[in-house]
Structure 1
Amino acid sequence: MNPDPQTRLYAIEQELKVLSWWQAQPPAPEALASQEPFCLDTLTFPQWLQFVLIPRMQALLDAGAPLPTSIALYPMATESFKDLPENTRALEEAIALLDESLTGKRVIREA
């Protein structure tokens, strides 16, 4: 397992900024309280990465708590980004590397 998920989270943040998807203002609290996976009913996937995944993972890292070992964000990323005009390859790769660092398993990338 890659010992540095912190670096992977930072890479995701940087790619969100490169794509101009990083937002200065958080969504409304009720949007963040969604019970749907990835808050699909209230947030875009990039918003979920910024306002849910990154802060929760950072809190676990800061607390020295165990990190999830069963995670598969890459398939959701590729599905979410497939019809967008932006080039999301670098963000998808950063997400795949986070998956790999947490699970210890290689992520099969789409061609």
Structure 2
Amino acid sequence: QWFANEKDDSFKSSIGQIYQTFGGEDLYPSVEEKAAMLLYLVVKNHSFSDGNKRIAAMLFLWFMENNGVLYSADGRKRIADNTLVALTLMIAESRTEEKDVMVKVVVNLINKDNQ
């Protein structure tokens, strides 16, 4: 009852934002970019009364899994659990003007073995 209670409509806004388009093109074209933005937005928007960082990390993993990109070809997670914890905390402590850098860091760490 106390965990994951939405405070307002900002969670719906976060979901909508990762699917935004401009001129018919996705602003976040890859699944990895969408996942990184989802993590960032859920952490920063404080949509829930409690557990925003935990919810954000869980949604990030759920989104990656449901889009078939959580695991690499050899069966390992593309982003380690301890890395996700560190990223989530880093995002929480970051300044708003650092958003693009935070998202790029997440995307680069997801793709580190695919470059």
What range describes the TM-score normalised by the shorter chain of this pair?
0.3 to 0.5
